[in-house]
Chain A
Amino acid sequence: MSDTAAHPREDDPEGSEEPATGADDAPAAESDETPAAGAVSTGAESVVAALEAAGAETAFGVQGGAIMPVYDALYSSSIDHVTMAHEQGAAHAADAYGVVSGEPGLCLATSGPGATNLVTGIADADMDSDSMLALTGQVPTEFVGNDAFQETDTIGVTRPITKHNYFASGADTVGDTVGEAFELSRAGRPGPTLVDLPKDVTQDETDETPGAAAPPAGTDPDPNADADAVEAAARAIEAAERPVCLFGGGVIKAEASDAARTFARTYGIPVTTTMPGIGSFPEDDELCLSWAGMHGTGYANMAITHTDCLIAVGTRFDDRLTGGIDTFAPEAEVVHVDIDPAEISKNVHADHPLIGDAGRVLDQLTAAVREAPDAEAWRERCAEWKETYPLTYATPEDEPLKPQFVVEAFDEATDDDTIVTTGVGQHQMWASQFWTYTEPRTWISSHGLGTMGYGVPAAVGARVAADNMGEPDRDVVCFDGDGSFLMTMQELSVAVREDLDVTIAVLNNEYIGMVRQWQDAFYEGRHMASDYTWMPEFDKLAEAFGALGLRVDDYDEVAPAIEEALDYDGPAVIDFHVDPEENVLPMVPSGGANGKFATAEDQL
Chain B
Amino acid sequence: MSGDSPDSRPATDGGSASDAGVPEADSRPAPSEQPGPEERDHPEGRRNLEGIRIDPVLEAEHESRRAVISALVEDEPGVLARVSGLVSRRQFNIESLTVGPTTVDGHSRITMVVEETDPGIDQIEKQMAKLKPVISVGEVSGNAVTAELVLLKVEADDPAAVHAVTEMYDGRTLDAGPRTITVQLTGDEARIDDALDAFRQFGIIEIARTGQTALARGDVPTAPGEKPGTAGEPTTHDS
Contact = CB atoms under 8 A, between A and B. Distances in A.
A, B from the same assembly: yes
A555 B47 contact: no
A285 B228 CA distance: 57
B9 A397 contact: yes
Interface stretch (A44-52, A248-256, A403-411): A403-411
Contacts of A394: 23-24, 30
Contact of B16 (A218, A325, A331, A412): A412
Contacts of A216: 132
A545 to B, nearest CB: 26
Contact of B126 (A327, A333, A341): A341
Interface in A318-369: 325-328, 330-333, 340-342, 344-349, 351
B157 interface: no
B139 to A, nearest CB: 15
Interface in B3-20: 7-13, 15-20
A164 interface: yes
Contact of B32 (A340, A595, A600): A600
A219 B126 CA distance: 13
Interface string B79-94: 0011001000100000
B21 A393 contact: yes
B237 interface: yes
B34 interface: yes
Contact of B49 (A306, A317, A325, A331): A325
Contact of A330 (B15, B43, B78): B43
Interface residues of A, number: 72
Contact of A306 (B1, B7, B41, B130): B41
Interface in A150-188: 155-156, 159-160, 163-164, 167, 184
A597 B47 contact: no
Interface stretch (B50-58, B63-71, B100-108, B164-172): B50-58
Given A349-B53, A412-B19, A396 B8 contact: yes
Contact of A599 (B31, B49, B78): B31
A146 interface: no
Contacts of B126: 341-342, 344
B77 A331 contact: no
A586 B31 contact: yes
B9 A560 contact: no
Nearest to B86: A160
Contacts of A305: 42-43
B82 A412 contact: no
B218 interface: no
Given A558-B17, A603-B36, A156 B28 contact: no
A298 B34 contact: yes
A349 B17 contact: no
A472 interface: no
A203 to B, nearest CB: 22
A160 B237 CA distance: 26
Contacts of A393: 21, 23, 31
B78 A595 contact: no
Contacts of A163: 132
B40 A595 contact: yes
The listed residue with most A CB atoms (<10 A of its CB), out of B12, B40, B85, B123, is B40
Contact of B47 (A333, A348, A405, A562): A348
Given A413-B17, A556-B10, 18 more contacts: A218-B239, A219-B132, A306-B41, A342-B130, A349-B50, A390-B26, A392-B23, A392-B28, A393-B21, A395-B22, A395-B24, A408-B20, A409-B17, A413-B16, A586-B31, A599-B32, A600-B36, A603-B36
- Sorted nearest first, the 8 A-B pairs with minimum C-beta distance are A330-B45, A409-B17, A559-B17, A342-B126, A408-B20, A559-B15, A331-B45, A596-B37
25 contacts: A159-B85, A167-B78, A326-B47, A330-B47, A331-B43, A342-B126, A344-B126, A349-B52, A388-B34, A389-B34, A390-B28, A392-B26, A392-B29, A394-B23, A394-B24, A397-B9, A408-B20, A409-B17, A410-B17, A411-B20, A555-B9, A558-B17, A560-B15, A599-B34, A600-B36
